[in-house]
Amino acid sequence: MQLSETIKLSPTREQRSLVNATMSEYIRTVNSLVSIAVNGTSIASYTTSNVEADLPSALINQCIRDARSIVKKHYKYCHKAVLKNRSLAKRGSAIRTKAPSLPILKKPCCYVNNQNYRIRDNRIEFPVMVGGRSKRISVPIRLTDRQKALFSDAKFGTMRIVTKSHSLVAQIVYEAAEPILKSEGNVMGIDLGIKCPAVSYCSDGNVKFYGNGRKNKYMRRHYAYLRKKLQSAKKIKAVRRINDKEQRIMHDIDHKLSHDIVQTAVAHDIKVIKLEQLANIRSATRQSRKNNHSLHTWSFYRLAQLIEYKAKLAGITVEYVNPAYTSQTCPVCGRIHHANDRLYTCKCGFRTHRDLLGAWNICNSTEYVGNRHTA
């Protein structure tokens, strides 16, 4: 499976200015190739000899590849917009989708393919232009022990150099060995929700609650409020900025949740993690205006994907089960009825926390709906 790793570069002042110049020239070249292509000249058979750029030829080749893929994607989106407008017109709607604008790279970056960079002895080597000629520079890096072990026998892919909070970093794609899936061990059921972001139940009886639903909800409401205020003041840039910030926070929360869940699974010798199929996850949730349903579906989907990915790395299989009645079935006698409030009480005397019940039933469920979500 393909993974990526970020390495911080510690260039000398001179190296830093060389890399900065390379990154600027790189995006300038890609942007100019894209504009040539969309203005009617095909770049399909372009080689380094067709491109004027103050870059090593390996990087010019990469620019051509990048430009081609940007153009291809752009045409695909344009085509989608045309189809959408056609169907809108058919339905008699006066609304039209705007044609997508041409993507322009703004953030300085550059890509170097695996044949043109090399990592060794806490240094990374790649070509830049020095006085009009291509020259390899060797930039000091700091690798953690984990990264050293990781890279010792990895097959590298493309490297991307970007600036992140004022430092240069290299994002390196590598092929990791496919982990061997465990064939023996316990089963874990996970119930994803709003009030409790996640609850796990292991077949050895262990129960764990993750995250803080109330805090997440307050955060979202706070950002929604800010957004509304800024929108009515027509501060579009500020709206975008806080949207990005909220996305980043949500992403961090999901990363932490999925990490904690998989850690628990590893600690309890889990071989299979079961999740509800996401299309109608916890459909028993009463829909209030405060709960934006589509938004929640999306964040469940994202969290499930992260769990799936981290579980796979730990050799744990993820399976999806039918969500019907998981929050209503008594695991002791099998009766089906709704929970009153947060507590689930059954006629047979069984009682438990409602969200824990979901995880428990998911753990026991054999109603598989494949090992892919369909949200």
Name the residue among 156, 197, 219 with its Cα closest to residue 306.
Answer: 197
Q: How far is the CB of 277 from Zn ion (least distance, A)?
A: 25
Residue 363 binding Zn ion, by CB under 5 A: no
Q: Does 343 bind Zn ion (CB under 5 A)?
A: no
65-73, 275-283, 310-318, 323-331 -> range binding Zn ion (CB under 5 A): 323-331
Segment lying near Zn ion (by CB under 5 A), choices 75-83, 89-97, 121-129, 329-337: 329-337
Closest to Zn ion by CB, 83 or 332 = 332
Stretch that binds Zn ion, among 3-11, 28-36, 278-286, 347-355 (CB under 5 A): 347-355
CA–CA gap between residue 203 and residue 154 (Å, rounded): 36
Sheet with 186-192: list strands edge to edge: 207-210, 198-202, 186-192, 270-276, 317-321
* Smallest distance from Zn ion to CB 336, Å: 10
Given 149, 233, 313, 348, the residue binding Zn ion (CB under 5 A): 348
Cα separation, 7 vs 169, whole angstroms? 6
User: Counting contacts by CB under 5 A, is residue 350 touching Zn ion?
Assistant: yes
82 binds Zn ion (CB under 5 A): no
Closest approach of Zn ion to the CB of residue 357, in Å: 11
User: Which burial class, exposed, middle or buried, applies to 162 when counting CB atoms under 10 A from its CB (0-12, 13-18, 19+)?
Assistant: middle
Which residue from 268, 242, 245, 255 is spatially nearest to 211, judged by alpha carbons? 255
Backbone dihedral region for residue 165 (phi beyond 0: left; psi -120 to 50: alpha; all else: beta) = left
Taking the complex as a whole, the smallest distance from the CB of residue 331 to Zn ion amounts, in Å, to 8
Binding of Zn ion by 330 (CB under 5 A) = yes
Nearer to Zn ion, 73 or 351 (CB): 351
The piece of 50-58, 119-127, 129-137, 340-348 that touches Zn ion (CB under 5 A) is 340-348
Taking CB under 5 A as the rule, does residue 159 contact Zn ion?
Answer: no
Residue 357 binds Zn ion, judged by CB under 5 A: no
Quote the Cα angle for 276-219-282, to 5°.
20
For residue 42, how many other CB atoms are within 10 A of its CB?
A: 10
CB 165 within 8 A of CB 249: no
Nearer to Zn ion, 313 or 348 (CB): 348
Q: What are the tokens at 258?
A: 């999925």
**How many Cβ atoms from other residues are within 10 Å of residue 273's Cβ?**
26
Q: Name which of 335 and 342 has its Cβ closer to Zn ion.
A: 335
Question: Which residues, including other chains, have CB under 8 Å from residue 355's CB and lie 6 or more apart?
Answer: 191, 193, 195, 196, 199, 209, 342
Number of residues forming the site for Zn ion (CB under 5 A): 7
**Closest CB to Zn ion among 143 and 363?**
363
Going from the C-alpha of 297 to that of each of 276, 310, 325, the distances in angstroms are: 12, 20, 18
For residue 346, state whether it binds Zn ion (rule: CB under 5 A).
Answer: yes
Least distance to Zn ion from the beta carbon of 322, Å? 20
Which one, 279 or 284, has the nearer CB to Zn ion?
284
Residues near Zn ion (CB under 5 A): 330, 332-333, 335, 346, 348, 350
